[in-house]
């Protein structure tokens, strides 16, 4: 095989807060013709920057040293014309968010043919023919009609396929995909990845695939390079990654991610938070979080060196060989042990049985947005009923538009149900103008933790002030008692006094989420709603917070209502699960039962779409039709589908709802 791309000693500095700071240190990577390389890492690892550097898309003021050789030619030395040729026909980029990279006022056809016509001088008719063919390759059947549509008429998954088609249309030799499926639902992700993978192989393209999801990368790439704080710390063939991870960080990443197929007693979380490249000082970048750290690691920077068929940047890689694998084996043993126990315990704990002593019970909950009169409006939640017993943990799982978040918002009182009843601690919840006294009473019953930790904290309030305010609101305590309670709360979420007197922006995302949890716990609620509370966290931090949630539940006996799209996370935290699709519950039961033996086709589809060890993205007919179902493509189609659904006698129409 010939080398397509060779990066040697790449060092990048960017202007951050007015100063040039390193974002990539000494990175050496190579990619053969037709090979796929996964660049994996958490936030701040420098994986996207590497791709931007290859494409010469770094912001002005960036300094780049080292070599980027494409087919033997130095990309960094390209003049305007050579760079234009490189960007227009040799390398193509696929971005994370298709909606911001496709001009909203031009049609899909314009978008796809523009580069061909202006750059390659192709006649418009020929370009259109070519594009129709490629759209069919990426699974967009009615191509001729799609070309006339505008971006807003297409769903996110379809748009991402259009973006892939645009990348393929210029017949590049190198594909650069920067988190192409991160903003998509898991089933859509599997679709898009299957298409990308298949097309790349058929065309023999080299690909650099940037993602935070190690399992996803392992499934579609030949080789994986793990990045941490601007360094490549390990580089190894994807198929031997699990057995032969030689860097403690790689092993940590693999162990941090919960599995959808088995429940771990505790996730083996990497402590601390991912460092940014410019925070790295002397020694090994990972030293501050490494469980195997020794003196040498803090003094001397390890070099990337060959080991066991890959490359690794660790002083102790040889000695740790046995220990890294045995640790994960140990974990697996423990898991098996644990899942047996929980399955037994849950057999005696039926979900949703009516009774007076439930922590939360909803009956026939329905929400219609818009359309005050009889007709119109979108039914987002339709006759949903379930119950959670005190101390239980119920997960509501579903993709975007399934109505799971709206359900949670109705229970907590942020949305008013169109129909149905909600009982909290045996008392029916009222809606409309709720006075602050009643809100305060409910606040002691039930609290919520939101997805985005930063915006759920007042940026102008120090952590201590925030907790103090809630304590003053709910309890009669004197200042010393409150101060002591604040420290208690912080300790409960794994923080301490040092974190009390700072503003939220001085904390990392994981720490902010811990503060949000502490605030929710301040009133000692009986029920805690977690609305995608770990979805925006880095994998290693997510594992810490999941462990923390398990601890809190054990200590306080609080009831969890866990809203999530992530089946692996759901498996980890919940006893019972409710699967929602388009506003309706399609399946329910004890979590292990449902996830081990799913009955509804949708649950099966969801489960099979989660990347895990040995997984491959597959295009399924079922998913194809379902994802099309979930994403209305045009107004008339939507109307047609509604009529069709109405014809199904018992089933009145229920539209889908974005977000």
Name the residues that contact other proteins, by CB under 8 A: 17-18, 272-273, 275, 279, 288-289, 412-414, 436-444, 446-448, 450-452, 455-461, 469-470, 473-474, 498-499, 502-503, 505-508, 511, 516, 519-520, 522-523
Shortest Cβ distance from residue 123 to other proteins (Å)?
A: 43
Which of residues 305 and 440 has its CB atom nearest to other proteins in the complex? 440
Query: Nearest 5°: CA angle at 434, between 430 and 438?
Result: 85
Alpha carbon distance 203, 198 (integer Å): 9
DSSP 155-193: -HHHHHHHHHHHHHHT--SEEEEESTTTTS-HHHHHHHH
End-to-end alpha-carbon separation of the chain, Å? 45
Which of residues 194 and 516 has its CB atom nearest to other proteins in the complex? 516
Shortest Cβ distance from residue 210 to other proteins (Å)?
A: 22
Three-state SS sequence of 511-567: HHHHHHHHHHHHCCCCEEEEECCCCCCCHHHHHHHHHHHHHHHHHHCCEEEEEECCH
Shortest Cβ distance from residue 58 to other proteins (Å)?
A: 19
Which of residues 354 and 435 has its CB atom nearest to other proteins in the complex? 435
Alpha carbon distance 284, 298 (integer Å): 6
Which of residues 79 and 295 has its CB atom nearest to other proteins in the complex? 295
* Phi, psi dihedrals of residue 361, rounded to the nearest 5°: -140, 135
Burial grade of 81 (CB within 10 A; 0-12, 13-18, 19 or more): exposed
Which of residues 268 and 447 has its CB atom nearest to other proteins in the complex? 447
Shortest Cβ distance from residue 434 to other proteins (Å)?
A: 9
Shortest Cβ distance from residue 289 to other proteins (Å)?
A: 7
Alpha carbon distance 553, 194 (integer Å): 39
Report yes or no: 252 and 321 within 8 Å, Cβ to Cβ: no
Name the pairing type of β-strands 174-178 and 91-94: parallel
Which of residues 389 and 523 has its CB atom nearest to other proteins in the complex? 523
Which of residues 51 and 446 has its CB atom nearest to other proteins in the complex? 446
Burial grade of 646 (CB within 10 A; 0-12, 13-18, 19 or more): exposed
Which of residues 442 and 563 has its CB atom nearest to other proteins in the complex? 442
Shortest Cβ distance from residue 506 to other proteins (Å)?
A: 4
Shortest Cβ distance from residue 395 to other proteins (Å)?
A: 20
Shortest Cβ distance from residue 439 to other proteins (Å)?
A: 4
Sheet strands (E) in 289-443 = 305-307, 310-312, 360-369, 378-388, 393-397, 419-424, 427-428
């Amino acid at each position: 095989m010939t080398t397509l791309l060779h990066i040697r000693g790449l060092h990048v500095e960017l202007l951050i807060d007015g100063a040039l700071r390193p974002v990539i240190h000494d990175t050496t990577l190579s990619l053969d013709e037709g090979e796929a390389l996964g660049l994996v890492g958490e936030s701040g690892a420098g994986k996207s920057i590497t791709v931007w550097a290859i494409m010469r898309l770094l912001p002005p003021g960036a300094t780049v040293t080292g070599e980027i050789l494409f087919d033997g030619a130095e990309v960094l030395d390209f003049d305007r014309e050579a760079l234009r040729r490189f960007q227009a026909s040799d390398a193509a980029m696929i971005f994370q968010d298709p909606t911001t990279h496709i001009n909203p006022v031009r049609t899909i056809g314009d978008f796809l043919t523009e580069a061909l016509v202006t750059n390659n001088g192709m006649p418009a008719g020929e370009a259109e023919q070519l594009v129709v063919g490629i759209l069919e390759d990426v699974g967009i059947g009615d191509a001729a009609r799609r070309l006339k549509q505008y971006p807003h008429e297409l769903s996110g998954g379809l748009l991402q396929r259009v973006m892939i088609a645009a990348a393929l249309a210029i017949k590049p030799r190198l594909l650069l995909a920067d988190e192409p499926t991160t903003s998509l639902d898991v089933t859509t992700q599997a679709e898009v990845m299957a298409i990308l993978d298949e097309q790349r192989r058929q065309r023999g393209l080299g690909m650099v695939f940037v993602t935070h999801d190690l399992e996803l990368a392992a499934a579609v790439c030949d080789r994986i390079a793990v990045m941490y704080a601007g360094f490549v710390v390990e580089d190894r063939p994807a198929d031997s990654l699990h057995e032969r991870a030689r860097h403690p960080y790689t092993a940590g990443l693999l162990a941090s991610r919960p599995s959808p197929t088995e429940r771990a007693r505790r996730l083996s979380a990497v402590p601390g938070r991912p460092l940014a490249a410019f925070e790295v000082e002397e020694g090994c970048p990972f030293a501050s979080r490494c469980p195997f750290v020794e003196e040498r690691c803090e003094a001397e920077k390890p070099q990337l060196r060959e080991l066991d068929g890959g490359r690794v940047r660790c002083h102790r890689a040889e000695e740790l060989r046995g220990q890294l694998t045995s640790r994960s084996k140990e974990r697996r043993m423990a898991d098996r042990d644990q899942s047996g126990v929980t399955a037994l315990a849950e057999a005696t704990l039926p979900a949703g049985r009516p009774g007076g002593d439930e922590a939360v019970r909803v009956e026939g909950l329905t929400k219609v947005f818009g359309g005050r009169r009889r007709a119109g409006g979108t039914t987002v939640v339709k006759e949903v009923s379930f119950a959670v017993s005190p101390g239980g943990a119920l997960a509501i799982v579903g993709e975007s538009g399934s109505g799971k978040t709206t359900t949670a918002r109705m229970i907590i009182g942020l949305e008013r149900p169109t129909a149905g009843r909600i009982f909290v601690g045996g008392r029916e919840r009222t809606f409309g103008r709720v006075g602050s006294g009643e809100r305060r009473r409910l606040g002691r019953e039930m609290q919520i933790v939101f997805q985005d930790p930063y915006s759920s904290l007042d940026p102008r309030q120090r952590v201590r002030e925030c907790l103090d305010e809630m304590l003053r609101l709910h309890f009669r305590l004197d200042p010393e008692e409150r101060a002591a309670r604040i420290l208690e709360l912080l300790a409960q979420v794994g923080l301490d006094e040092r974190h009390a007197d700072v503003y939220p922006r001085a904390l990392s995302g994981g720490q902010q989420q811990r503060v949000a949890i502490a605030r929710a716990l301040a009133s000692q609620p009986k029920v805690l709603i977690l609305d995608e509370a770990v979805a925006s966290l880095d994998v290693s931090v997510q594992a810490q917070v999941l462990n923390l949630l398990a601890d809190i539940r054990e200590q306080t006996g609080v009831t969890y209502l866990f809203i999530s799209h992530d089946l692996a996370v759901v498996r980890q935290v919940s006893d019972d699960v409710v699967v929602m699709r388009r506003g309706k519950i399609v399946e329910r039961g004890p979590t292990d039962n449902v996830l081990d033996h799913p009955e509804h086709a949708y649950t099966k589809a969801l489960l099979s779409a989660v990347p895990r060890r040995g997984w491959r993205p597959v295009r399924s007919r079922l998913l194809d039709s379902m994802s099309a179902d979930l994403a209305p493509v045009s107004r008339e189609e939507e109307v047609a589908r509604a009529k069709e659904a109405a014809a199904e006698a018992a089933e009145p129409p229920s539209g889908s709802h974005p977000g």
